[in-house]
Amino acid sequence: MLRVGRAVGTVCAAVAITAAGTGVAQAAPPPLPNVLLQLPALPPIPGLPTPAPGVDLQKSFSQLSKKITKTIPGRLGVAVVATGSGEPLFFGTVKSARAWSTLKAPVAVAAERRHVTNLGAMENKAIRDSDNASAEQIWDSLGSTQQAIDAVSAVLRDGGDARTQIASELSKPASYPGATQWATTDQAIFGANLACVAGSDPVLRNMSRVGPNQRWGVAKGKKGVRTAVKGGWGPVSDATGKYVVRQLANVTTDRGTVGVSLVAIPNSGTFADGTAMLTRVGDWVQKNLKNMPAGQCPPAVPVVQ
């Protein structure tokens, strides 16, 4: 830029001297073109979440929710997060609920990190079939209650969930892991980053092959959509037998990956109504994935030997 300025200054000075010598007025030189305005737009940086277009997703979900709850009264909560972004989209009214069997996913990852003996068979049953006895065996394999809490908490933190506190008999009042309060947005953040967490590959493979008792919500991926899910269901609280139904999901398309958390609390309190509600919500999520940000795991940092 300095060189261009000097050249222009020299030309202008020469023109001025000539005009003064001849007494003839000279036109000013034409302005330099604005080079910056002519530069092409830079392409998007690979790996960053794709910005969502101007679609009113809140309005769309509100309309869907009214239709669902007209036939199946109850409450819904949905969170969607682009992998690597940590910025959730939230819809509905259920902001937190008991984790129930969705917690089996981070528990299984913790066991993978510990290289637990004979883990494969236990994990298959705990994740694919949501078998409670197998999940309890995996939990016990992590050591004492405090050691298990620490191991599972470390997995959650690595997955971007900085807030969830695991419930157990050490809690005041005493509780149990399935009763852990897992915020809808925190669960979606963990789901988004699950594939980026060490030890998650076998767990995600099992989550992509769940049995019939978990094939609802987003489990039945649409064309071009790959899903890995873990369902959970149980009483809303110790004071009631009415169920909350949840689903933790990692969803991938050709645009990238998102984490999804679905929650339904049907007024009837039945598992059937909860899964029916979440399947309709899951269809809406998959239909609107093109309108939501998506991302991917950051490049792995090489280990220094």
Least reliable range by pLDDT among 36-50, 84-98, 140-154: 36-50
Mean pLDDT on 65-69: 98
Mean pLDDT on 30-50: 46
Query: Which is more confidently placed, 21 or 297?
Result: 297
Q: How far apart are CA 106 and CA 249, in angstroms?
A: 12
Is 51 in contact with 57 (CB distance < 8 Å)?
A: no
Least reliable range by pLDDT among 9-23, 28-42, 144-158: 9-23
Q: How far apart are CA 80 and CA 184, in angstroms?
A: 9
How high is the pLDDT of residue 300? 72
* Angle formed by the axes of helices 132-141 and 104-114, nearest 10°: 40
Tell whether the model's pLDDT for residue 265 goes beyond 70. Answer: yes
For the chain, what is the total number of helices (H) and then of strands (E)?
10, 7
Percent of the chain with pLDDT over 70: 80
CA 167 vs CA 98, 160, 178, 291: distances in Å: 10, 19, 7, 36
Secondary structure class of 213 (helix, strand, coil): helix
93 token code pair: 């009214």
Give the model confidence (pLDDT) of 206-230 as tens digits.
Answer: 999 999 999 999 998 888 999 999 9
Mean pLDDT on 114-127: 97
How high is the pLDDT of residue 138? 98
Q: Which residues contact 52 (CB under 8 A, 6 or more apart)?
A: 291, 292, 293
Tell whether the model's pLDDT for residue 2 goes beyond 80. Answer: no
Mean pLDDT on 130-141: 98
Structural domains of the chain in order of their starting residue, each with its CATH number: 57-291 (3.40.710.10)
How high is the pLDDT of residue 40? 47
- The pLDDT confidence band at residue 19, using thresholds 50, 70 and 90, is very low
Query: Which is more confidently placed, 33 or 91?
Result: 91
Q: How far apart are CA 269 and CA 288, in angstroms?
A: 28
Tell whether the model's pLDDT for residue 35 goes beyond 50. Answer: no
